[in-house]
Structure 1
Amino acid sequence: MKKLIFPLIAILFAFTACTNDENQSINNNAALVGNYVLSTLTADVAVDLNQDMITNMELTNETNCFDSMAISFNADGTFTSTIAEVSFDASNDLVCNTNVESGTYSYANGTLT
């Protein structure tokens, strides 16, 4: 289970969005302004985070740790995100913590920095 922590952390930073018009070009911060809530989180391999003897690739079905994950992009180029941090205690029980992070961003030429 402990080997899953680092891949989970990497997955947690993956927020994706899709558009129907692939030719549409968005090249400014204002295009991203809004609140985005994590709706699905899929692992490459099935895991049993809640230790119910049932594995699942959809991590939101395994624990409610990720329910509060979200990111807000502001028009002034700042963001605030709520990130779930999962670990296991000495008894190998899942521990869920959330952390709020903030910073700045820019979006130009299809690249979010």
Structure 2
Amino acid sequence: MNLLKYVSTLLVSLILLGCSNDDNTPQALSQSDIQGNWFLVELNANEPTDLNNDGISNTNLRLETDCFSTMAINFENDTYSFTYPKLDFIGENNDELSCTDTINTGSYSLESGTLTATTTIDNSTTTESVSVQLSNDLLKFTITRAQVNEYLDLGSSNNENADLETLEFIFEK
């Protein structure tokens, strides 16, 4: 469950910190290639996870909760807006998941497959770069364990998600 306690921070940062290693010959991209609305179609973890406590684990976290169903990115000119869920655990044992949509905005550029984004979160401005892959109408990036560990405490021995090695985000236009 620790994976989702900090997921709102992670989700904002994912677009900024991911990297893709799915394609040996990256496609040269420009801002015009990604302009428009992108909707999350898959959020894949390397290990099956049971976020909704129904006894069934999935690697595609979109199958675990409806919280990710409205996650989207809109790229226009030099700005972007990112809609993502703020996740909270509720209930007597923090075993129920509640989510509320949050929107962040910022500026971006894209050159040769490297997305550079600047955003302000909690009065702190951050600029990060991420390699992205575009295939047909799918925009993909993957973050690694090291990147996830910047935002999540996965080293804890009682963390059920301590084996998480990657998260792959796939958005569709």
Which TM class, normalised by the smaller chain length? Answer: 0.7 to 0.9
Per the alignment, residue 80 of structure 1 pairs with 81
Q: Residues 11 and 57 (structure 1 numbering): CA distance in 2 closer, same or farther, change over 3 Å?
A: farther
Deviation at 1:86, TM superposition (A): 1.6
Q: Secondary structure at the match of 1:88?
A: strand
Whether the aligned pair in 2 keeps the contact of 1:48 and 1:55 (CA below 8 Å) is yes
Instruction: Write 1 or 2 for the structure with the bigger share of strand.
Output: 2
Whether the aligned pair in 2 keeps the contact of 1:84 and 1:96 (CA below 8 Å) is yes
Deviation at 1:6, TM superposition (A): 5.8
User: TM-score, length-normalised on structure 1?
Assistant: 0.77
Per the alignment, residue 43 of structure 1 pairs with 45
For 1:11 and 1:43, how far apart are their aligned partners in 2? 14
Unaligned runs of 5+ in 2: 117-173
Corresponding position: 1:103 with 2:110: no
Whether the aligned pair in 2 keeps the contact of 1:50 and 1:62 (CA below 8 Å) is yes
Identity of aligned residues (%): 34
For 2:52 and 2:63, how far apart are their aligned partners in 1? 9
For 1:33 and 1:99, how far apart are their aligned partners in 2? 21
Pairing of 1:1-113 with structure 2 (within 5 A): 1=1, 3-5=2-4, 8-9=7-8, 10=10, 13-14=14-15, 22=25, 24-26=27-29, 28-75=30-77, 77-91=78-92, 92=94, 93-113=96-116
Q: Secondary structure at the match of 2:4?
A: helix
For 2:82 and 2:6, how far apart are their aligned partners in 1? 19
User: TM-score, length-normalised on structure 2?
Assistant: 0.53
Higher relative contact order (CA 8 A, sep 6+): 2
Deviation at 1:8, TM superposition (A): 4.5
Letter in 1 for 2:84: I
Residues matched between the structures, number: 107
For 1:47 and 1:78, how far apart are their aligned partners in 2? 34
Q: Residues 16 and 68 (structure 1 numbering): CA distance in 2 closer, same or farther, change over 3 Å?
A: farther
For 1:34 and 1:16, how far apart are their aligned partners in 2? 21
Letter in 1 for 2:115: L
Whether the aligned pair in 2 keeps the contact of 1:11 and 1:41 (CA below 8 Å) is no
Task: Tell me the C-alpha RMSD between the 2 structures.
Answer: 2.6
Deviations 1:5-60 (A, max 9, x none): 2674536725899xx9x46422x322221111000011222221111111111111
